Amino acid sequence: MTHHPVRKSPPNSDSSRKIGLARAISKLGYCSRQQAFELIREGKVRLNGSTPKNPETPVRLGADRIEVQGHALKPAEKIYLMLNKPRGIITSAADEKDRDTVYSLLPPDLTWLAPVGRLDKASEGLLLFTNDSEWNARVTDPTTHLDKTYHVQIATLANPSLLESLERGVEPDRNEFLRCKRATLLRAGEKNSWLEITLDQGKNRHIRRMFDALGIEVLRLIRVSIGPLHLGDLPKSANRPLTPAELSALNRAMAPP
């Protein structure tokens, strides 16, 4: 598969703000924060010539010198990328069962990127990656109320009553209430239907658990948009950088009213 070149923006630095060493290594694009924890504890990280063992050692990005296994780290350029995730791939950096992960679909020479939210193994569609941890947190923050839209195939014929139930909300158990912002019928066959489901905040396996509570099997679940950002015709398993216009539109959608 041919990978598109990744769009990068100029690096930012803030020499006055202190953060933990493990987080700093992650922000600099070397690896995940958990992997940085292990490197620090193994004595493979040097900070201003010393070898700290505490992953929370305070660091001033842009001022302190960090070396990992002899390599000095520099501020990473910001990267924003979308992937069309196929079914059967898990959203994780590594898997104890040795299953394929989304990282097998990214260029091997790319700096460390974190997924923006998740899609479970059976789900597919739009998945974002970035090394901008603050932007990642904004996109995934429930208080941002960024609409996420899915196309969902279910093993039954949908009727107006079902759509109303999804919008009104269901209770998978006594301690939880799940609803969608909008549910519409896209098309129907003889035994199944395709719905468009929009969430303005999402919990773990939100859509699947709504249908489980109604006794309805989900056959396919595809995320097609996040706010104004659309999956479009990006091929399955392919990735590309966000365009400047897409990034600006997404940032505007997250701006406070």
- Identify the pLDDT of residue 220: 97
Domain that holds residue 177: 147-226
Number of domains in the chain: 3
Residue 5 lies in a domain: no
Position 120: which residue type?
Answer: D
User: Which of helix, strand or coil describes residue 240?
Assistant: strand
pTM recorded for the entire structure? 0.76
How many C-beta neighbours within 10 Å does residue 2 have?
4
Are residue 196 and residue 241 in the same domain, yes or no? no
- The answer to whether 120 is a known catalytic residue is yes
Please check whether residue 25 is in contact with residue 39, taking contact to mean a CB–CB distance below 8 angstroms. yes
Please check whether residue 240 is in contact with residue 81, taking contact to mean a CB–CB distance below 8 angstroms. yes
Kindly report the CATH number assigned to the domain that includes residue 221. 3.30.2350.10
Are residue 234 and residue 213 in the same domain, yes or no? no
- State how far the Cα of 231 lies from the Cα of 83, in Å rounded to an integer: 8
Q: What are phi and psi of 164, to 5 degrees?
A: -65, -40
Are residue 27 and residue 138 in the same domain, yes or no? no
The catalytic position among 100, 109, 120, 212 is 120
- Identify the pLDDT of residue 130: 93
Q: What are phi and psi of 151, to 5 degrees?
A: -105, 125
User: Which of helix, strand or coil describes residue 106?
Assistant: coil
- Identify the pLDDT of residue 11: 42
72, 92, 116 - which closes a domain? 72
Are residue 30 and residue 20 in the same domain, yes or no? yes
- Identify the pLDDT of residue 109: 76
Are residue 248 and residue 139 in the same domain, yes or no? yes
- Identify the pLDDT of residue 95: 65
Are residue 131 and residue 175 in the same domain, yes or no? no
Residue 3 lies in a domain: no
CA angle 131, 137, 142 (to 5 degrees): 150
Are residue 89 and residue 188 in the same domain, yes or no? no
pLDDT tens, 30-43? Answer: 888 888 999 999 99
The residue behind tokens 């598109």 is 4
Q: What is the pLDDT along the chain (257 residues), one digit of tens a residue?
A: 444 444 444 344 444 578 899 988 887 878 888 889 999 999 999 999 999 999 999 998 778 889 998 888 887 688 999 999 999 999 987 666 777 899 999 988 777 888 999 999 999 999 999 988 889 999 998 888 899 999 999 999 999 999 999 999 998 887 889 999 999 999 999 999 999 999 988 788 899 999 999 999 999 999 999 999 999 999 999 999 999 999 999 999 998 76
